[in-house]
Amino acid sequence: MDDPESDQRRKHSQDLRVTYHETDGQRRVHHANYLNYFERGRVEMLRAAGISYKQLEDAGLLLVVVEMNVRYLAAAEFDDLLTLTTELVEIRKVRIRHRYTICLGDQVIVEADSVIACIDRGGNPKRLPPQLGQF
Amino acid sequence: MDDPESDQRRKHSQDLRVTYHETDGQRRVHHANYLNYFERGRVEMLRAAGISYKQLEDAGLLLVVVEMNVRYLAAAEFDDLLTLTTELVEIRKVRIRHRYTICLGDQVIVEADSVIACIDRGGNPKRLPPQLGQF
Amino acid sequence: MDDPESDQRRKHSQDLRVTYHETDGQRRVHHANYLNYFERGRVEMLRAAGISYKQLEDAGLLLVVVEMNVRYLAAAEFDDLLTLTTELVEIRKVRIRHRYTICLGDQVIVEADSVIACIDRGGNPKRLPPQLGQF
Amino acid sequence: MDDPESDQRRKHSQDLRVTYHETDGQRRVHHANYLNYFERGRVEMLRAAGISYKQLEDAGLLLVVVEMNVRYLAAAEFDDLLTLTTELVEIRKVRIRHRYTICLGDQVIVEADSVIACIDRGGNPKRLPPQLGQF
């Protein structure tokens, strides 16, 4: 049974304006900064589904990145208006896999995927909270 | 009475190598990154005096920046080897004033001064720990 | 003679969402990151007046920060929605003075002022472009 | 024929002190910052082999990251003294593959590998400079 609302919630798009300090001496977005964009994508995708990542952390649950794979296909420059698409591709007991695409117009700039784990403040794996599980 | 050891501890110098991600599209160190250099200066000046800033924080004392004034006189570039001098110029019950100079060879790149306050995790002002007071 | 349109262009407000990587181990926005917020304020104030900072740079004019003075009054945390007000307070041949206020609701978090100079790629002072002068 | 000197140059270790601004609200090194550590590893490995990355760029050759894969195994905290090992594992006409390991004492914190390409300022692939090829 298809649940179109659920499908919608598994994919999220947002615009990102490249700021000056994110560029480096090559006049391109420094490659490390894309990981910050992906993080914003995860937070905003949760928010769009009614979940506050801040409240999860305040409740003692940390989502930590355990794997990150990035392919850089083209450069983005200062002031470019990029589109980030964040997609939830798999969810397990304590781990979530996301896929990311960043485009400038029709051109794909960066593709990536990551694995996020849920832990408590002591570093122990924790079952993902139910609202994420249904998500 | 002069205490040369105390004088020494009030002034600390260290080298800083400019890394690539600290530069921006102008091929210069982005102006915000100097504040991170100053922070390294404060931490290393404490360490040279036998004080671990990490232990202060673990004991619940936070040193927070309440004022920062910077004059940018010249540009530093990727791979430049800079010299940062950190000086403790005044210490009061809950506040410390530092002065910073960053040079490339004989040329002064940046001058700054800051006020740091001591607070607890709840945000309340705390008397500076005694080892800082004698410092 | 009052020019209300000119007044409007001398003051600009925008919302800023605090992202996770901008916080530090004190769970607050790291103090250096506010300078990046101010930079976004300058760029967006120019854009609101029809001026692209990127085009200025592509034309060989660099706006560089020569002075920055910041007072940190309170902490901002992850996910806070801040309001940044950027104000152009003085414009001279080669220098511009801005004032910045960052609020969380009614509370002022940070106040700052800066001096920006206009130079060419060789580092020589350049007269500010006319569209900024009328601005 | 083994060339021990060449072997040495293909592997480089350096210490990294975690600075405060590199941590995030989880009191750990923010995951994006490891990419900056790897970059420092590549630059210092080149320097140890007598090659200045800055001179390569000044000569119009850019080394850009085209792929980055990171496994985060444990957390590093403020003030930790990490050891980064950078290894050149493959070199082709226009691409270099590196492997990275970051340890805290005996514990592996992060493992990664990357592909770097050589381009000119126009974005065209360029043959790697001979001193890198022999390297």
Mean pLDDT value of segment D41-70: 94
Q: How many helices (H) and strands (E) does chain B have?
A: 4, 5
Q: Which two tokens stand for residue D115?
A: 């592909």
Residue C76's φ and ψ, nearest 5 degrees, are -110, 150
Of the candidates C2, C1, C9, the residue with the CA atom closest to the CA atom of residue C134: C9
The per-residue b/e assignment along B34-61, b for 16 or more CB within 10 angstroms, e otherwise, is: bbbbbbbbbbbbbeebebebbebbeeeb
Average predicted confidence (pLDDT) for chain C = 90
Residue in chain B closest to A77 (alpha carbons) equals B25
C7, C24, C106, C120: which is the annotated catalytic residue?
C24
Q: Which residue in chain C is spatially nearest to D33 when comparing CA positions?
A: C21
Whether D8 shows a pLDDT value over 60: the answer reads: no
pLDDT digits (tens, 9 = 90+) for C91-134: 988 899 999 999 999 999 999 999 999 999 888 999 988 777 66
Dist CA B114 CA D15 (whole Å): 29
Based on the number of CB atoms within 10 Å of its own CB, is B103 exposed (0-12), middle (13-18) or buried (19 or more)? middle
Give the pLDDT of residue A15: 98
Average of per-residue pLDDT across C75-81: 96
Mean predicted confidence (pLDDT) in D56-78: 95
- pTM assigned to the model: 0.93
pLDDT score at B134: 60
Low-confidence ranges of chain B (pLDDT < 50): 1-2, 4
Q: State the average pLDDT over residues A118-124.
A: 90
Determine whether the interchain pair D67/A72 forms a contact, defined as Cβ–Cβ distance below 8 Å. Answer: yes
Pick from D96, D106, D18, D89: nearest CA to D56: D96
Dist. CA B97–CA B116, nearest whole Å: 6
Q: What is the ipTM of this complex?
A: 0.91
Give residue for tokens 């900024």: C132
For residue A128, give the DSSP letter: P
Nearest CA in chain B to C33: B32
Q: Please, are residues C94 and C86 in contact by the beta-carbon 8 Å criterion?
A: no
Residue D49 is given by DSSP the state T
C65 within 8 A of B72, measured Cβ to Cβ: yes
Length of chain C: 135
Band of the pLDDT at D101, cuts 50, 70, 90?
Answer: very high
User: Which of C19, C21, C29, C79 is the best mutation test for D, with the most CBs of D within 10 A?
Assistant: C21
Task: From D108, D105, D80, D87, select the one nearest D38 (Cα to Cα).
Answer: D87
CB of D135 closer than 8 Å to CB of D90 = no
Domains in chain B: ranges and CATH: 4-133 (3.10.129.10)
What pLDDT is attached to residue C84?
98
The pLDDT mean for chain A works out to 90
What span, in angstroms and rounded, lies between the C-alpha atoms of A28 and D65? 12
More confident residue, D130 or D87: D87
What integer pLDDT is reported at residue A1 of this predicted model?
43
For residue B77, count CB atoms less than 10 angstroms from its CB and return exposed for 0-12, middle for 13-18, buried for 19 or more: middle
What's the pLDDT at B1? Answer: 43
pLDDT at site C36: 98
Tell whether C18 lies on the interface with D, counting CB pairs under 8 A: no
Q: Which tens digits make up the pLDDT trace of D69-98?
A: 999 999 999 999 999 999 999 998 889 999
Question: CA distances (Å), B109 to each of B98, C123, D128, in order?
Answer: 17, 14, 34
Long-range (24+ apart) CB contacts under 8 A made by A129-133 are: A129/A56, A129/A59, A129/A61, A131/A49, A131/A50, A131/A51, A132/A46, A132/A51, A132/A91, A132/A96, A133/A91
For residues A119 and A62, the answer to whether their CB atoms sit within 8 Å is yes
pLDDT digits (tens, 9 = 90+) for B48-75: 989 999 999 999 999 999 999 999 999 9
Sign of CA dihedral B43, B48, B49, B54: positive
Nearest to A103 by CA among A22, A20, A18: A18
Instruction: Write down the pLDDT at residue C51.
Output: 92
- Give the residues across from A118 on adjacent strands: A63
pLDDT at residue B133 in the model: 62
Q: pLDDT > 90: what percent of chain D? A: 74
The yes-or-no verdict on residue A58 having pLDDT over 70 is yes
Which tokens go with A79? 């002031």
Assess C23–D contact: CB distance below 8 Å, yes or no: yes
Section A11-40 average pLDDT: 95
